[in-house]
Structure 1
Amino acid sequence: MKNINSAILLIAILVFSVAPAVAQETEQKVVDEVVAQVNDGVITLSRVNREMKEAVDSFVQESKKPREQVQAEIEAKKGEMIANIINEELLIQKGKEMGVETDVEAQINQRFLDIMKQQNLKSLDALYQEMEKGGADAAAIREMWRKQMTRDLVLQREVDSKIYFGWTPKEVKSYFEANKAKFTKPETISISEIFLGFAGRDTDAVKEKAKQLVAQARAGADFGKLAVENSDRQDAKETKGKVGTFNIKELDERFAKPLQNVKVNGVSEPIEIVEGIEILRIDARQTAGNESFFDENEVRKALTVEKIPDARKKYMTTLRSDAYIKINETYRPMVAPNLFTEEKKVETKKSK
């Protein structure tokens, strides 16, 4: 769902108190400690701490758990996080080797433009100003997206697409014949939305407005008209809030659960996401069918989904084996068991 399934993570600006000069020197030595060398790159403790802080912020916001509890949970997985950062560094280096930077930057710029349009802002500078007011650092978000998109592009091109296009017509047809139950008509719902953005606004006021709009819609007000008059989606006047039709099983859990018991023409409670509030209306429901139908694309996708986890693990194992990785002895005991899991499985099989 283009507008619904893409929530944008905003990272709070970190504010550090001023410490005495001696303390600063000590802290600088700790922060700059090299945790691991990966080929020509290094992973420092400052990077690990920064990414752990971002993970804590994200999980606190998503889970609503106390910060102290989330911090303890993340700290317990520090070795796993460092291993993940090493794997990410390998993928970023591979991305540079493949020359994906141009595509990545284009996607990042387009994402910012999409948010700008959704928030009815006139320029990217205006968007950055609104983000700053909300405590978000556009440069930090850009860097986070750059890492994510580089990683995703490398895996898609080096692993996923090769699997998807590698199936022969005979294999595709054979899989369909053996798994017809997987390819029946799915249950779908058609949805309309009203989106209220938080950018540049008082959050409590936005939440209150959302409650009022839900009450109006449930009282019989025209949902399309409410969307045109209130939604922050740039295309609301043309779409009247209509988003499209979606497979229930593929719907983001954040929206699937609130919509589970909503009947046709019914309206959900306000759904809070990172960038604002969603109010959803069920325009139609289509029940699932029992009759199987052949769709080559869907069959290839099903075949590929089954193979991707193991194929990606194998690819990462190859990247690691071809790389120079040296882990600081202080961190090796917690990192190595998480980083070289697949290699140990191979060694175990060979020894039997």
Structure 2
Amino acid sequence: MKKLLLLLLTFAAIFAYAASDTESADKKSVVATVNGTPITKAELDRQVGILMPRSFFHSTVTPEKLKDVEKDALKELVKKHLLLQYAKKKGYTIPDSIMKREEKKIRKAFGSDENFEAGLKRANLTLDDFRRELYNDLLMQKLYDKEVKADLDDEALRAYYEKNRYKFKVPEKIKIRLIYTRNDPTDPKGKEKAMSRAKEALEKIKSGEDFADVASKYSNAMSRIKGGDMGFIHKGMLDEPIEKAAYALKEGEMSEIIETPTGCYIVKLEEISPAVQLKFEEVKDRLRKELKAKYEKERLDAILESMKKDAKIVYK
């Protein structure tokens, strides 16, 4: 939630459209209000600067793309103002001592007061603007710490893991080789040719030739360069008739020809890797990140929904 003002200033300085030597009337114009609190064009421009990927500035940004980014930026600003109003409603405040400490850090990051003031100017921010933005950032951080932040200890994570063990199971996988003979839809005899080629390939394998060698010569699939090796796959990765045939095989077995509208297939099952239950320690760190993000989003969404119920949001 917390956006360091240093980043705000840096981004605003980078994007030319978000900054000018003097603040114009357009910059001061109001683009929306949230319960009477205005969102100005200057504020919107700074938010666009934060959202806009730097890579866009190595190519032409179309008016349509800029409009989309501005729409997203405005949505973020509306959310921000709703959260700020909620925080103030709950009585959260930032002591002057904290404000002074954080301002000092940011000034120090610029190297000198002169550089700091130059940054403000490039970002079209007065000192009062800066302090208001800083206060809001710190207030958002306080709201996050008090009502959104989710700290999950190992006991809570283990309880979730035990209740949802099925989510941490690596499914069975099979390692296959495949030969595919394509049915050319532009050829009236495409289906016959695909079957004829598949039969010839199957006969060679049954007569003793290596499956990989035959695949490299007969298959129309890209896997032919690896002797038809498809590596390990799990259910859902192949078309149903091919998958069904592959999973019906035992290790070392080869299927008969599988005919489909797009062509013919021959599958060889080389290895079965059984399903594995991942241990708690293996998933703990990933699980902590996922649950933290999930719970924090739910809490934040709940706050926003409660504020939106009676909110008066007007777009200009």
The two structures have a TM-score, normalised by structure 1, of 0.41
The two structures have a TM-score, normalised by structure 2, of 0.45
- Between 1 and 2, higher relative CO (CA 8 Å, sep ≥ 6) is seen in 1
Larger Rg: 2
